[in-house]
Structure 1
Amino acid sequence: MSILVGKKAPMFTTKAVVDGDKIVEDFSLEQYIGEKHVVFFFYPADFTFVCPTEIIAFQNKIAEFEKRNVAVVGCSVDSEFSHWKWLQIEQSDGGIKGVKYPLVADASNSIAENYGVLAGEYDYNENGEIIFKGQPAAYRGLFLIDKEGVVRHQVVNDMPLGRSVDETLRMVDALQFHERHGEVCPADWHEGEKAIIETQDSIASYLSN
């Protein structure tokens, strides 16, 4: 798995479904550079079980991300048509209708591969033919990208393990606080709590309280 923290996020142009029902041909994260922070997350597949709980949980908190000027973007190795179909199905019937943030189509697996979350790899068989070993789906990777296009936080879960949207918001708050004030955020820091100025004295003072 690649460690992308501190590096430029891999860019791409691909198809996506936006606003819950519109297929666009040339979606790219580059549109957010200089404008917004981005939470870019991968999920294994459409029409599954854990994935809709995460996708809908992000939608339920989308106002919290928007007030922080953060774009939320989801991605799986499914086609744009699969995304669109799932978005038309009521949540009570196993669908994700009502989700409005973009869902990116990565049918070639290239985006997941570039982000280091593809659950498998391409190889050659004894005849020299390209084959895929493993599962052609994405682990539950999440990347917090700043306005300069640099990855500042990443977390990757195995497929059975759902993520915490509240923890994602906490990391957004920590990054934006650091960007505004230059102070660093200790363990379990939340907005409004004391942070640390990076000197030995300030760290010792914080730990003694």
Structure 2
Amino acid sequence: MVLSSSPDQVVTRAPGAISLQIYAPVSESQLMQVLRLHHTVMYIFYGLLGVTRILGSTTNCLPVFLTKLALSNAFLVQAFIMYNHTHGRVVVDIFLHKILALATVLTGVVSFMEVLTKNNITLELLRSSLILLQGTWLWHMGFVLYNPTGGFEWDLTDHHSNMLLTVYFCWHYAFAYIIIGVNYAVITWLVKWRCRKFCSMQIPLLKNSEQEQELEEM
């Protein structure tokens, strides 16, 4: 992007067109266009992830780890954009976005570690908990910034709110750990119970087949 040194420069462009240049002084409409462009870039990288998944499941030309590498890139790009998505915002709004960027960059790092290691259940569970953390924290951000219920409104200019939001973020991570842990325990129990039931049904079938073979030999 180009920052013009001439504050009186007048730019003429077609209505609805997105300008890839910023001219001083920066107008509100230009700032909104840049913010929308941030979201568009994130969607492009997640779209590349989707294309990579489709190609990886339909062809054998791509390496197996390429999907996880695309996932890691998408998260890291999102973290970079969210960290720089705070221009013109108030204190609490900036803090919320930086915490989201922290969770996202951790998810990207864990996803990249999965590229280097194969079938590591610990990393997969950690990545799942961090993705869940991002989702719940986005909900929390929506209630803090916009509060759709119309009730209590946060003071977005108060530095003390950041201290309370730090505690909330830790609670969100604990909630994500609990959800992932419960899911893992339940699924593990179901699989073991199913295996025990399946094996117990196969044992008499094996005995009957052995008895039939003995009778035929006699």
On whether the aligned pair clears a TM of 0.5, the verdict is no
Relative to total residues, which structure has the larger helix share, 1 or 2?
2
> Given the two structures, how large is their TM-score scaled by the length of structure 1?
0.26
> Given the two structures, how large is their TM-score scaled by the length of structure 2?
0.25
Relative to total residues, which structure has the larger strand share, 1 or 2?
1
Larger Rg: 2
